[in-house]
Chains A and B, each alone.
Chain A
């Protein structure tokens, strides 16, 4: 069999400006969602290790629901479902940010919980035995150490969430994949354009990996 396919370099290169227009949306939704998700993760992660059982249950329920359902279903629910309740449409970008926030928030809660629980018991005992209160011990002794341990898994989560935003092409957000689809609809150069889309995701995620590695190396130098 003879392969007649010719890679259309020109189409690939010409698609780039269209695709680049999607990147701000991809970044806005992922980092906007992650920022909110981090706040959610701190709150629910700490609730999930709170001594009060009802609070723990509440946090665990949230985590299980949003970790156990697909982010695509979550965003469809928010974008198409919630307007029925609210009586008005929800902006697609807002829906995307909310979906990332809630989904990443569930995973980040577990990251926060795991990091806090991984700090040696002796640290807490040392803080308390010096006369620090429970909350002083937490915020001055436990939390700064936990925060450093969160960096690698948070980086992981950021990469996952960035890629998850590609699903939001289905609700019409003009992010990277959606821009590609629109371009392909007129040029029929799917292979070239999706390859470019994939490369652009790689540029984003590799940059992030690089920054994280830089940060970790700096942290290692300070002895923790």
Chain B
């Protein structure tokens, strides 16, 4: 059972905590700064001489794989290390309200960080005509992929007392979930395996969105992955009560 109002209480506390500790501010500064650096300075943007955001959107999955887990690595590892989970889990809140609440709080910070990259989009828009559909699709894809990164981060946070361990494990899984797409290009592999690898890859479902093509199957896959990791987080927390 998940009472939305209780999940919102937890989410609100997460958002406030993110900005009371430096994590929220750091993410809010780091995502646009790193995006801009890779896109304008290190990327071929000026060399190509086109008002094209594809470079920006293709960097985002890698950046979100680093930033997403940073927002959720704290959620359970730190509660457990400090013992605060003993209070949270004995208040009249269900496990799903806690898991979803913490996730929603992090998703709000993620949305703010993505919004903060709007300056890059605005700059490019000043230089030439932008494909609005690609921008909307790209941001939708980035948000869905980012929430997936949050869920993976929360899952590993529930498994350990160490935030650093949680972050590294989550980043590893998220990077792997993108590299499988490259592995799918290996011709030595059987066709069926390649198809599965390609479908597993986050990039497969994300890239079309950055061209303005939002495919329902892709959206559902990203949502299912997020939901799956959140459900697994709940199972880990429930299992912990066994002692």
Do A and B come together as binding partners? no
